[in-house]
Structure 1
Amino acid sequence: MSLNSPGRPAGSPLVVLADDLSGAAECAAVLPGCRRILLDPAAPVRPGETPVIDLDSRRRTPAGAARLVAQATGRHAATGARLLKKADSLLRGHLAAETSEFAAGASGLVVAPAVPAAGRTVRDGVVRLHGVPLHHTEAWRAEAGPVPRSVAEALGRADMTVLTLDQVRAGATHLGGSLRSALARGAPVVCDAETDADLDAVAEAVLGLPHTVRMVGAGGLTAALGRRCGPVAPRTGPGRAPAAPRPVVVVVGTAHPGAVAQIAQLTLHGARHSALSAESLLGPGGDGEHPTARARAVLEGAPVSVLSISGTRAVDPSAAPRLARALARSVAAVLPEDADLVLTGGETARHVLDELAVTTLLPVGQVHHGAVHCRTVDGREVVTRPGGFGGPDSLLRMVGALRTDRGRAVQEPYASDGGPR
């Protein structure tokens, strides 16, 4: 896929570098030309391909994340591709370290982390969640560090230029000129955005700049770039068409409070649920039963089963990576070969797929905003979703897609009204 606007010659192919799996899948679902999500950063990219590459850098140290980004950026910049670094819309992860490496050698950097469809906007360079400045919300309650008060603070760049909503909405010619003038001063530019139309304007303006200008953004900017290439058509991949629905295993690795209500919806519809304690996961036998045995018991013979981490005790955020890894191991050890998967939380999803030796996902479509339906090359269905996304019926819809739509595409692109169509 080449990103170009009507009346312009075909542009450079786009390569998206993501910091976690759920974000990678979110981007792949809204790019018409994306046919593969690569979990191996060193995997070869086909000529003209628009891959989304999960660098899995969120769970690394800042130095380790920076090395991964530097290697991938250098490799793909050398091909003449236009590069987008997918960042968390709430500024989590190693944003400063990764962005510093990503910007090295670029002729400019444009940052636009808004995702209006999820209530995540940017005004005056400050990320807002449903209109409330990020640093006045509880969105960072599970993060180890202090919440950044602005995009510039998250990037560690006091010299950033902010293009306000008035500048973004001033028209294509004016916005393009503002971007060129700001980039000429040598500092990164952050663009305010509160609507999809704002992001469309930013995407159009950036595509009018040399491909050596790089972008940092979330799913909203990626979707805007995708809209420059037309609607996302339903995609299919290799799959099996059994006579009866296959079992579905739901793995909930998020600490988001909404997960409790989402699991409750599933159990009301007959799903079997087991919450594994942090104590048993981090030290098997701590609650009297090994987590793998608990996992086996809940999965055995169940059409739909749910495994989560018990929220009865507060867990040190520093233990979250070990919990996600332990949960993934417990699931993978007993997962039936014919089971499909629903995975919430990018780190948990990546751990589960690593345990199953999955290195490529084939995007099919969206169940709802952020919940992305994929297939593995051997035909297992997988739906991933960031931990904090979705309403109370999110998991129910994700499971329903696999139970009723196996072998067919599930497609609900981003809607302009902020919700799925």
Structure 2
Amino acid sequence: MASSPPHPIPAVLALADDLSGAAEAARALGGPVRLSLTAPAGDVDGPASRDLVVDLNTRHLPPADAAVAVRSLLDSGGFGGAGVYGLLYKKIDSQLRGNVAAEALAYAEGAEALVVAPALPAARRTVTGGVVHVDGVPLHETNGWRAERAAPPRSVAEAFSGLPVRTIPLEVVRSELAALVAELKGAAASGVHPAPDAETDADLDAIVAAALRLGPGFRLLGSGGLAGALGRALARPAVPAPVSAPARDAAPLLVVAGTAEPGVARQIAHLETLGVCHLPLDPDELVAGAVAVPANVVVRDTVLSIDGSAGLHPGGGRALSAALAALATAWPGRPDLVLTGGETARATLDALGVRELDPVDEIHHGAVHSRTSDGRSVVTRPGSYGAEDSLVRIAKALRPHLAATPATG
């Protein structure tokens, strides 16, 4: 296990580009945490008592606007200094989607170097030879970017075009800590940002340990796996068990599957065996506002999904997310929500006026259960996460009575 940092570490300020990633990072850090959907004012005196994770909601903004959002937050109140938050972490997508280059350039301002580590071993996403692999296949040879307008990058360096990065080989990551520290420091001294290879959580632990040895001028940028390594390194006291919320079994459960991932169809099929009603929605009718809440399902647990039988609509995700959010907001009975896909999750909570979430627990990797200020449960999960029983596990966690429901086949 990587050694702990030599001095107490101040609270962490984490920046994310979408809501499901922000929730993933909040749970991975492991300490007391706030999850905010708005940029906070920088007027807090003294060290913060909790980590702060901010969803900047920049995944689908133009690159220049995304960079402004990062820069504005870091310039808004001494967050990167020795005051309120003394340690920075930037969450990026493990498949390098979004404005990773533009946001990294803004994040690097004022830093000695960024330590770039997008590997996410829990989701079988690794980095070797400076290339992201998914289940052992180079990212650019997978279909992970099928819903994007652009082609996937062939390397981490290509993804961060404009930000000079240097691959740190796996053998250096797995060498003595002093050697890795020297490699990171040498890269920074030569004007490049180190991007260490990583295949396991132990690799990420070593990367974080080395970065912490070099001080807060070396800013961490990576996946939720890197956030988990940071949480393990800080080794703060366990968060007290949350106070039980009033039972909401009488409220409907609404699952909003706002993702183009093909595996979600199989997850929904498993969920239907519990008697959950499935409403596949025509994307054109949904965006046109021609889909209404069916009167006969409003008191039932329901899953909404996009009918993908006519193929994907690259670049059309934002309009579909907004339309799904409008439908979910209009759903009667104040349902508890399961929201897959960060854009859909954010659009839905924006429509409901939710500005902050209290993370409660993690049902499985990436599926984070949070509560709103009025006690409603919200589970967020990246669209590409989870085995075939993912939605079943989430539903049973929120509605334990479903565990005794016979499968209908």
TM-score (norm 2): 0.91
Deviation of residue 334 (structure 1)?
2.0
Which of residues 351, 359, 381 is equivalent to 2:347? 351
How large is the Cα RMSD of the aligned pairs? 2.1
Q: In the aligned structure 2, how far is the partner of 1:90 from the partner of 1:387? A: 12
Structure 1 residue identity aligned to 2:36: L
Cα gap change, 1:230 to 1:245, in 2 (>3 Å):
farther
Q: Secondary structure at the match of 2:146?
A: coil
Mapping of residues 97-246 of structure 1, within 5 Å:
97-157=102-162, 159-230=164-235, 233=238, 236-237=241-242, 240-242=245-247, 244=249, 246=251
Structure 2 residue identity aligned to 1:270: G
Instruction: Look up the match of 2:284.
Output: 279
Cα gap change, 1:362 to 1:405, in 2 (>3 Å):
farther
Deviation of residue 243 (structure 1)?
7.5
Cα gap change, 1:207 to 1:242, in 2 (>3 Å):
same
Deviation of residue 234 (structure 1)?
5.9
Mapping of residues 89-104 of structure 1, within 5 Å:
89-104=94-109
Q: Mean alpha-carbon deviation: is it higher for 161-170 or for 31-40?
A: 31-40
1:331 aligns to 2:294 (yes or no)? no
Cα gap change, 1:60 to 1:248, in 2 (>3 Å):
same
Deviation of residue 73 (structure 1)?
2.2
1:73 aligns to 2:41 (yes or no)? no
Instruction: Look up the match of 2:393.
Output: 397
Deviation of residue 365 (structure 1)?
1.1
Cα gap change, 1:24 to 1:405, in 2 (>3 Å):
farther
Unmatched 5+ residue regions in structure 2? 403-409
Q: Mean alpha-carbon deviation: is it higher for 28-37 or for 250-259?
A: 28-37
Mapping of residues 293-372 of structure 1, within 5 Å:
293=292, 295-297=293-295, 299-302=297-300, 304-337=301-334, 339-372=335-368
Q: Secondary structure at the match of 1:318?
A: coil
Instruction: Look up the match of 1:416.
Output: none
Q: In the aligned structure 2, how far is the partner of 1:20 from the partner of 1:283? A: 25
Q: Secondary structure at the match of 2:261?
A: coil
Unmatched 5+ residue regions in structure 1? 285-289, 407-421
1:54 aligns to 2:50 (yes or no)? no
Structure 2 residue identity aligned to 1:331: A
Which of residues 258, 263, 268 is equivalent to 2:268? 263
Instruction: Look up the match of 1:414.
Output: none
Deviation of residue 210 (structure 1)?
1.9
Indicate if the aligned counterparts of 1:237 and 1:362 stay in contact, CA closer than 8 A.
Answer: no
Q: Mean alpha-carbon deviation: is it higher for 182-191 or for 229-238?
A: 229-238
Mapping of residues 376-387 of structure 1, within 5 Å:
376-387=372-383
> 1:249-308 deviations in whole A, cap 9, x for unaligned?
100000000010011011111001101111111223xxxxx31x2x34364110x11111
Structure 1 residue identity aligned to 2:68: R
Q: In the aligned structure 1, how far is the partner of 2:134 from the partner of 2:325? A: 30
Indicate if the aligned counterparts of 2:251 and 2:333 stay in contact, CA closer than 8 A.
Answer: no
> 1:84-114 deviations in whole A, cap 9, x for unaligned?
1100000000111111111111111110000
1:27 aligns to 2:45 (yes or no)? no
Deviation of residue 335 (structure 1)?
3.9
Q: Mean alpha-carbon deviation: is it higher for 227-236 or for 190-199?
A: 227-236
Count residues with an aligned counterpart: 394
